[in-house]
Amino acid sequence: LSLLDQAIAFGGGKVLEADVRAMLGTIAQERVLDLLQLLAAADAKGVLDLVAELAEIVPDFSGVLQDLLAQLHRVALVQLVPD
């Protein structure tokens, strides 16, 4: 089956972003940015709370870490090459 076929089956005939994310084990970029903001604010409790929330959705954090790394890379580029 294609990913689209799997998404249709997973969503009971509807293809919704939240369902596809759950099927693929990914999270919205907003959650990655939330995590980055909590880290920048040194909010350990907030980070742990968010990680616990994400653990219910995404059991494998490798994708989350890759997304976080990509965002940090973007931040570094902006710092090195200002507009």
Q: Looking at residue 40, what is its pLDDT?
A: 95
Residue matched to tokens 């570094």:
76
Tens digit of pLDDT at every position of the chain (83 positions): 898 999 999 889 999 888 888 788 788 889 999 999 999 999 999 999 999 998 988 767 888 899 999 999 999 999 999 77
* CA angle 35–29–61, rounded 5-degree value: 60
Q: Looking at residue 76, what is its pLDDT?
A: 94
Q: Looking at residue 70, what is its pLDDT?
A: 94
> How far apart are the C-alpha atoms of 2 and 7, rounded to whole Å?
9
Could you tell me the two tokens for 34?
Answer: 């939330």
Model-wide pTM > 0.85: no
